[in-house]
Amino acid sequence: MKTCKLNAIKLLFCISLIVGCNNENTSEKNETKHAASTTSLPIYIKDIPSNHPLSSAMKRSFNNYEAPRLLDNELYTNFKYTELEGFNYNNGDGTVSRRDPSKIIKENGQYYIWYTHRNTQTEPRGFKNATDVVPSTDWDLAEIWYATSKDGFTWKEQGVAIPRPPKPNPGWRSVATADILKFKNKYYLYYQAFDAPSGTYDKKRDAYDICPVTMSWADSPDGPWHPLNTVVIPFGNENEWDYRVIHDPNPLVHDGKIYIYYKSGLDKRDANRKFWDAWGLAIADKPEGPFVKHKLNPVMNSGHETMLFPFKEGVAAIVNTDGIEHYTIQYAKDWVNFEIASVTQLLPTAAGVYAPDAFDDDHDGDGITWGLSHFINAGDNWNKMYTKLGRFDCDLSQKVNDPSLKKSNILLPNKLYFSQGLTKEQRSRIVNREQIQTKN
Ligand code: AAL
């Protein structure tokens, strides 16, 4: 109801802007426009005259977002976080990690989630110190495990879904960062398959963290999983934007086809970290491919680990860190051309969302209200690097209306701000500059 009213206001407003523009050359209308411009903007949105002159910011409010007020914006939310029950992290000694959760699906009356699971003799020690049993990074020497839950808060770890296959099959070193697809009553896990410790520098590609994306399928979410053992999303050619890496496959179903969004990026992926993370789209008729890359790729210009779900007739994306449009929620009505729908804060990281209609392909996505996020540096100790899973709740659903989740003034503890302190070098640069200025 509320949305209809707002859409009506938006429509009226757009029409009025168009009408206003078309009439710009007639002197009669110019007089009206002039008359309107001497009046302040009315206090009620409904009272704004069709030809009232607007600043760029106000035009943007009506034209660029779902709704001008956060409270009415179905694609705005803040996020609440809850610790999970049921996962053991070996007292946070860095030897056990769970990260990069998949989407969550509900089958047989319970929720299922898959994730990167590492249980190694030591914490990650960098690729120079990696051995057959010592991991380089948090996602090295990992397997894909799964867990189930009745309520989404307490989870029961069920064990391995996709083990590391024997050498030389893709992923013999590590399998990580899986996402789930349900298609025609079969289940498909797409994931990254490493044949070297992640972090190893690949001279040919001038990049770290190289691995192909492959897939395993099963008749049941409990497995057994059958590996395809081939690359499903091919790397781009040299000089193409997605030549260096293909990461974070995220499958959905649209118009009877499999849509996989994946991360790659422009520029060198070396230690200077000057690369530009961006997202591509690859489409196939069948889960095993062949996947054809969209000619407008990349379709998103930001996001390290982007979370996607069907929304209305289009697809929405939670764009977390990295890139010019980080911390935004975006929407692509045509599943290709993304626009910013809102800007928000404290977003989940690399989360797996529970989108009940993720694979329904009914052009009427409701949205999401929860999922599991990962939290890197879980023990606040980079020398014992591990990641844990936690739950987030939000209101990005058309059916749910929780005004408390539409607030933007989230109070964070002061110590969080002061934990973002200056380095010694920054402090002395600032002090030196002050001293020079005082002398002058
Ligand atoms: C994640 C993802 C991919 C990367 C690594 C593990 O956040 O982007 O999965 O390879 O980091």
| Ligand 1 proximal residues by C-beta, below 6 Å | 100, 139, 176-177, 192, 209, 247-248, 304-305, 350
Distance 405 CA to ligand 1 centre (A): 29
Q: Kindly state the percentage of the chain with pLDDT values over 90.
A: 78
Catalogue the E-assigned strands of 86-166. 96-99, 105-107, 110-119, 143-149, 155-162
Interval 377-434: pLDDT, tens: 998 888 899 999 999 999 999 999 999 999 999 999 999 999 999 999 999 999 999 8
Q: How far apart are CA 50 and CA 89, in angstroms?
A: 60
pLDDT at 20 over 70: no
Contact 206, 196 (CB under 8 A): no
pLDDT greater at residue 196 or residue 37:
196
Give the range among 32-36, 81-85, 255-259 with minimum mean pLDDT.
32-36
pLDDT at 47 over 60: yes
Distance 248 CA to ligand 1 centre (A): 7
Type of residue at 324:
I
Q: How far apart are CA 310 and CA 61, in angstroms?
A: 24
Interval 54-79: pLDDT, tens: 999 999 998 888 888 999 999 999 99
Q: What is the pTM (predicted TM-score) of this model?
A: 0.90
Ligand 1 pocket mutation, candidates 177, 202, 273, 277, criterion most atoms within 8 A of CB:
177
Q: How far apart are CA 302 and CA 12, in angstroms?
A: 33
Interval 90-106: pLDDT, tens: 999 999 999 999 999 99
- Predicted pLDDT of residue 208: 85
Distance 192 CA to ligand 1 centre (A): 9
pLDDT classification of 38: cutoffs 50, 70, 90: low
pLDDT greater at residue 4 or residue 77:
77
Interval 215-257: pLDDT, tens: 999 999 999 999 999 999 999 999 999 999 999 999 999 999 9
Ligand 1 pocket mutation, candidates 138, 143, 209, 214, criterion most atoms within 8 A of CB:
209
Distance 177 CA to ligand 1 centre (A): 7
Q: How far apart are CA 398 and CA 77, in angstroms?
A: 12
- Predicted pLDDT of residue 238: 93
Task: Tell me which residue has its CA closest to atom 2 in ligand 1.
Answer: 248
- Predicted pLDDT of residue 33: 46
pLDDT classification of 269: cutoffs 50, 70, 90: confident
Buried b (16+ CB within 10 A) or exposed e, 22-53: eeeeeeeeeeebeebeeeeeeeebeebeebbe
Task: Tell me the mean pLDDT in the region 337-345.
Answer: 95
Distance 319 CA to ligand 1 centre (A): 15
DSSP state of 312: B
- Predicted pLDDT of residue 149: 98
Task: Tell me which residue has its CA closest to atom 4 in ligand 1.
Answer: 247
Interval 177-224: pLDDT, tens: 999 999 999 999 999 999 999 988 888 888 888 899 999 999 999 999
The mean predicted confidence, pLDDT, of the chain is 90
Distance 346 CA to ligand 1 centre (A): 19
